[in-house]
A and B are shown apart, each in its own frame.
Chain A
Amino acid sequence: MKYLLNILFLLFAISLFAQDAKFTASVNKNKVGLNETFKITFSLNKNGNKFNAPSFKDFFVLSGPNQSSNMQFINGNVSQTISFSYMLKPRAVGKYTIGSASIETDGNKILSNKVSIEVTKSKTTPQANQQQQNKDIYKQIGENLFIKAKVDKTNVYQGEQIVVTYKVYTRVSVVNYAINKIPKLSGFWAQDINLSGQISLHTENIDGVNYNTGVLKKTILFPQKSGKLEIDPLAMECLVRVKTQSRRKSIWDDFFDDPFFGRSKDVKYVAASNPIRINVRSLPEANKPSNFKGAVGKLSMKASLNNTETKANEAVTYKIIISGKGNLKLIEPPELNLSKDVEIYDPEIVDNISATSAGMSGKRTIEYLLIPRYKGEYKIPGISFSYFDLTKKDYVTLSTPEYILKVTEGDEAPGTGITGVGKEDVQFIGKDIRFIKTGKQEFKKKGEYFFGSLTFFILLSFPFLAFAGMIFYKKRYDKLSADTLLLKRRKANKIARKRLLIAKKYLKESKKEAFYEEISRALWGYVSDKFNIQLADLSKDKVKDILVNKKVKEPLIDAVINTLDKCEFARFAPGSDSMEMENVYTSTIKLISELEETI
């Protein structure tokens, strides 16, 4: 049990030890002058990662984070320290607090303490003799070694170039130097001007004091956004040789007051330039061309085609040269609007641009490779390109002329390169057209057609007319034939009566022969007309047949035949009386009326 407690205690101790991670922030001084620099160090007594610095918004970061770590073994105990340090320079007078930094160790996130800094205008009050001495030295160096940043203009348009020059001024001997912080230049597109190797020093007089000056760095800046932008300072770490001050003034001092004699020491000093504010105006919205893509300066454009005539599938180059002064490197190749039958390759861009103190100038050559695929005339439309002219303070649109590219038949047969041949097309591959037609030809006049011609209409309408005519004819014929029959039948009675009248006349005159003839004619004629039978075809037997057919009663038929017999007989018999003739006459009338009734 006791044993168990011991283990627990041990575990507790270990955990205590583990929690012992300390993350502290410290400064080398918390009262600094405006021109002074100070160092802030964040240190952790363990190994850690994911260091996250607080914001130094009130200070210029001259260098850092500089990371260092060390490990110590003391009496078997391992102690490890990791630290991050920054060189800072105040921006303005006042009291500031630097917030906590954070770091992760053993999976825990630890925060450092906050540090307050007082920035004074004058130099800080000395705290210790040694420090005082150092202060003096720094102050002294600061007065004799500084960097000035200068711009050629502070009020520019977005995209207008600014040349910023960093110049070092020194009256002390600098043993060694290194630019340890290059300005971040957020919001700018920068192009360094190449300076020839060594800094050449000149003498410059400022307020009656001679300084050795040299240009450290020259950069062309193109503001990429509008508003108030800041060019942050450039910091340079110098190793400055300073004389050590002796306490006693002796006669030798002057003599030995010489670097050669080692009465001097090297001091590290970080010199930083002044920040510069640039006021960037946005480009005017009025008259802004739609194809404006941000080019600013003074530019010109040329376009050329190396060949206006070519064969299909052979390349031509189309060159666009934009030259002048301005942000040439930011100019993008224009889009070519060509026929789909011309293949366009990605343009090759060749720059011949020099960045000098006068700014960026030169030319950008954009070369397109065009390959027309088919024979024909292709238009290469003119290109228009807009930029903002700084002298005119307005937009200028440049354009190039249109080119016509004449493409003749290539060596390859046209139609190669066609993809997507349909299934039904395959059967034609390698086939030739069929041979021409020969033989006797029937040529006809152009535009003369049979359809719609007079002949056509005659031939078309004739059958209709003929049909109509035939129908009409047939109708009439039928009607006519029907009419004559009807007429004859209707007339039969009439004619018979007429004949009977004549017969009556003969009876009165007692012309026996004529009388009987008329009577027989009336009878024969009546039957002939009534039944549409020619007289010549009639005989007594036929009449009998017809009458039987017509279902005439037997006694009537017998009477008719009897009368006809009587007439025949009486015509040739001599001597007859009028009584007999009278009887025949009345019986015939009776017969005809009876026949008329039955038929």
Chain B
Amino acid sequence: MISKAIKTVLFFLSLSITLSAENMQQQFEQAGQYYKNKKLDESIKKYEDILSAGYESAELYYNLGNAYFKANNLAAAILNYERAKKLFPADEDILFNLTLSNFKVVDKIEPIPQLFYKRWWNNMQTSNSFEGWARSSLILLWLALIGAIIFLFSITINSRKIAFFTGSAAFILALLFLNFAYQQYRLDTDKDYAIVFEQSTYIKSAPDESSVDIFVLHEGVKLEVIDKLGEWQKIRLADGKTGWVPQEHIILI
């Protein structure tokens, strides 16, 4: 009797989820139509509705970024491209539009150069999202398992040899990818990045309105948030400069 009740509840729950998923797909397509017809405000609203329902996808962020870009809201465009990139770092369209938008940012910030092997390593790590790394790592791990089974229970020497080498290679790669996934996950979740949303904002030397202005940033600049004090955020730029900014001037990615 009770189990039956639970079953029906579960059924309706799953029904409602699938319904809203269909609904979202519909909204997503509608927003795309608005975008095509240059009705940017409606398009943005539709996309934002899906987001506010608590769902996301790289394509959704990408499209929203495009709509903002067309509506001349550079900061919001960059914010959404960055969010899309976080979910799907290897997507060429996302990277292209993000680079193009960054070109329109007034401040040109030169990142501190890194040693070449560190750069390669970072490039490799950031070429996939942590979700992607996690998935590939699992696939390789299961491959290694199959190799192990063959190795243990095969009778012929040759098949055991092949299974041993492919299995251990898959296992090592799996561990590497798992490490990437973890690093990338930490990078994405522990480190907070933000985008400047004010047309121009003064970066102060201290979390205080009356302190000295160190430099000025313009909308769309990406920065790292390293500390917080009251209404003030301590930020660091890619070139290593730090300062304090009122938190309402930036939005976290």
Q: Which of A482-529 contact B (CB under 8 A)?
A: none
List residues of chain B with CB within 8 A of the CB of A437: 59, 62-63, 93
| A466-B145 contact, Cβ under 8 Å, with A428-B100, A428-B103, A449-B130 | yes
* Per-position binary interface string of chain B over residues 61-97, scored 1 when its CB falls under 8 Å from any chain A CB and 0 otherwise: 0110011011000000000000000000000010011
Distance between Cα atoms of A188 and B65 in the complex (Å): 68
Q: Please classify the interface of chain A as helix (H, G, I), strand (E, B), loop, or mixed, using the class held by over half of its residues.
A: loop
A189 within 8 A of B: no
Interface of B is mostly: helix
The answer to whether B141 touches A443 (Cβ under 8 A) is: no
Tell me whether A599 is interfacial, beta carbon within 8 Å.
no
Chain A residues with Cβ below 8 Å from B178 are 460
A458 to chain B, nearest CB (A): 10
- Chain B residue nearest to A379 (CB atoms) is B202
Q: Is B55 within 8 A of A446, CB to CB? A: yes
- Whether a CB of chain B sits under 8 angstroms from the CB of A555 is no
Interface contact B144-A341, CB-CB below 8 Å: no
A178 within 8 A of B: no
Chain A residue nearest in CB terms to B135: A450
B residues near A378, Cβ cutoff 8 Å:
200
CB neighbours (8 Å) of A431 from chain B are 100
Query: Quick one: which of A404-444 are within 8 Å of B by CB?
Result: 407, 414-415, 418, 420, 422, 425, 428, 431-438, 440-444
Pick the residue among A376, A420, A446, A456 that contacts B198 (CB under 8 A): A376
Query: Are B97 and A434 in contact, with the CB atoms below 8 A?
Result: yes
Out of B106, B108, B198, name the residue touching A422 (CB < 8 Å). B108
User: CA separation between A379 and B213, bound complex, in Å?
Assistant: 11
Report yes or no: B103 in contact with A425, Cβ–Cβ below 8 A: yes
Write the B30-52 contact mask toward A (1 if CB under 8 angstroms, else 0): 00100100000000000000110
Query: Known interface pairs A463-B144, A463-B145, A470-B149. Does A449 touch B97 (Cβ–Cβ under 8 Å)?
Result: no
* Alpha-carbon distance A436/B133, docked complex (angstroms): 26
Check A377 for interface membership: any CB of B closer than 8 A.
Answer: yes
> Is A375 part of the contact surface with B, judged by Cβ < 8 Å?
yes
C-alpha spacing A377/B137, complex, angstroms: 50
A537 to chain B, nearest CB (A): 23
- Does B152 contact A474, Cβ atoms closer than 8 Å? yes
Which of B6-14, B20-28, B155-163, B240-248 makes up part of the contact surface?
A: B20-28
Report the separation of the CA atoms of residues A471 and B149 in the bound assembly, to the nearest whole angstrom: 9
The answer to whether B96 touches A339 (Cβ under 8 A) is no
Using Cβ atoms and an 8 Å threshold, which residues of chain A touch B137?
A: 460
Given contacts A443-B24, A450-B131, A452-B185, contact A438 B56 (CB under 8 A): no
Residues of B within 8 A of A78 (CB): none
Question: Does A74 have its Cβ within 8 Å of any Cβ on chain B?
Answer: no
Measured CA separation A434–B56 after assembly (Å)? 20
Cβ-neighbour of B100 out of A407, A433, A463 (below 8 A): A433
A261 at the binding interface (Cβ < 8 Å): no
> A341-B216, A470-B149 in contact; A436/B35 too (CB < 8 A)?
yes
Contact of B181 with A by CB under 8 A: yes
Chain A's interface size range is: 35 or more
Report A-chain residues with C-beta under 8 Å of the C-beta of B96.
Answer: 433-434
Complex CA–CA separation, A295 to B24 (angstroms)? 71
B206 sits at the interface (CB 8 A):
no
Complex contact A339–B142 (CB within 8 A)? no
B24 to nearest A CB, angstroms?
Answer: 6
Please judge, given known A-B contacts A341-B200, A428-B103, A441-B24, whether A451 and B130 are in contact too, CB under 8 Å. Answer: yes
B236: A residues at CB distance < 8 A = none
Whether B62 lies near A376 (C-beta < 8 A) is no
CB–CB A443/B57 < 8 A: yes
CB of B202 within 8 A of CB of A441, answer no
Cβ of A251 < 8 Å from any Cβ of B? no
Whether a CB of chain B sits under 8 angstroms from the CB of A368 is: no
A460 in contact with B57 (CB, 8 Å): no
Report the minimum CB–CB distance from B8 to chain A (whole Å): 23
Which residues from chain A contact B133 at a C-beta distance below 8 Å?
451
* A340 interface residue (CB < 8 Å to B): yes
Residue in A closest to B218 when the chains form the complex, CB atoms: A374
Smallest CB gap from A452: residue in B: B185
Task: Take A437-B63, A460-B141, A466-B145 as given contacts and tell me if A442 and B57 are in contact as well, using a CB distance cutoff of 8 Å.
Answer: yes
Q: Does B60 contact A (CB under 8 A)?
A: yes
Cα A451 to Cα B128 with chains together (Å):
13
Q: Which of A425, A435, A441 has the largest number of chain B CB atoms within 10 A?
A: A441
In the bound complex, CA of A219 to CA of B198 (Å): 56
CB proximity of B208 to chain A, nearest CB, Å? 15
- Nearest residue (CB) in A for B145 is A463
Contact A441 B57 (CB under 8 A): yes
B181 A420 Cβ-Cβ under 8 A: no
Is A249 in contact with chain B by the CB < 8 A criterion?
no
Binding site for B on A (CB under 8 A): 339-341, 374-379, 407, 414-415, 418, 420, 422, 425, 428, 431-438, 440-446, 449-452, 456, 459-460, 462-463, 466-467, 470-471, 474
Ranked nearest first, the 8 interchain pairs of A and B with the lowest CB-CB distance are: A376-B199, A451-B134, A463-B145, A443-B55, A437-B59, A436-B63, A376-B200, A433-B97
Chain B residues at the A interface, C-beta cutoff of 8 Å: 21, 24-25, 28-29, 32, 35, 50-51, 54-57, 59-60, 62-63, 66-67, 69-70, 93, 96-97, 99-101, 103-104, 106, 108, 130-131, 133-135, 137-138, 141-142, 144-145, 148-149, 152-153, 178, 181, 185, 198-200, 202, 213, 216, 218
